[in-house]
Amino acid sequence: MNGNNILLVEDEPHIARGLIFNLEEEGFKVTHAENGEAALQFFDEHSFGLVVLDLALPGIDGLEVCRQIRGKDPRQPILMLTARSEERDRIEGLSAGADDYLTKPFSLDEFLLRVRGILRRSEWYRPEPASEDIHQFGKNRVDLQHHLATTAQGDISLTELEVRMLRTFFDQEGEVLSRAHLLESVWGMAPDTETRTLDNFIVRMRKYFEDNPARPVHFQTVRGRGYRFSRKS
């Protein structure tokens, strides 16, 4: 997805011209489609940080274009433009998969605000590159992005806290992590909090990932200091 490229789908020339001019002033690169068919073709051939989509188009209408784009890419940010303010249109647009909508006539300031808002949110939600989130050690393969672990015992779906703990260990492989450090980075707890939760988590990690949980090689206890993760078997 290229955050700087915007696909503008708008059949009214004077509106399109105004939007293109202002988006380009803001540093965006705009691809203009005058109808739904052209929009879908551009969408197949290029990648866009945002699709600005007019609802009322000749031929395939905006709702259908929106549904088709959603079908191809569930994460594609879409801002829908509608000339009608009826709630039905708004609900239809949002249920067809638009992230946000603007009712015509709107000010250019408002338009640019929405554009920047959607792009900022999509930046937040963008997942880490998948390759960085796959970790292999022993007989285990852990996919943090999808909360999935494949172990000698089969597939395990990981909780949010388990993912956070594993990420903390993976990021600091070979280092001794104190209980205080783990409590703070996984649970966000004050370091002096007294809790058995951490120990229970470690027990669970060993049950999932160790050949012999009683003699752990990956999730090691460092007496008096904390825990250490190692990929080596």
Q: Where do contacts with Ca ion occur on this chain (CB under 5 A)?
A: 11, 54, 56
Torsion of CA 6, 7, 13, 17, to 10 degrees: 10
Least spacing, CB of residue 62 vs Ca ion, in Å: 8
Report in angstroms how near the CB of residue 11 gets to Ca ion at its nearest.
5
Q: Cβ(223)–Cβ(211) under 8 Å?
A: no
Measured from each CB, the residue nearest to Ca ion is: 56
Q: Helices 197-209 and 160-171 sit at what angle, rounded to 10 degrees?
A: 80
Our CB check for Ca ion shows the closer of 52 and 158 to be 52
In this complex, which beta carbon is closest to Ca ion, that of residue 42 or of residue 227? 42
Residue closer to Ca ion (CB basis): 54 or 162: 54
CA distance 183 to 92: 45
Whichever of 51 and 186 has its CB closer to Ca ion, that residue is 51
- CA nearest to 227, candidates 182, 189, 163: 182
Report DSSP state, residue 127.
P
Give min distance, CB of 103 to Ca ion, in A.
Answer: 13
CA torsion through residues 86, 91, 96, 99, sign: positive
| Shortest Å, Cβ 107 to Ca ion | 18
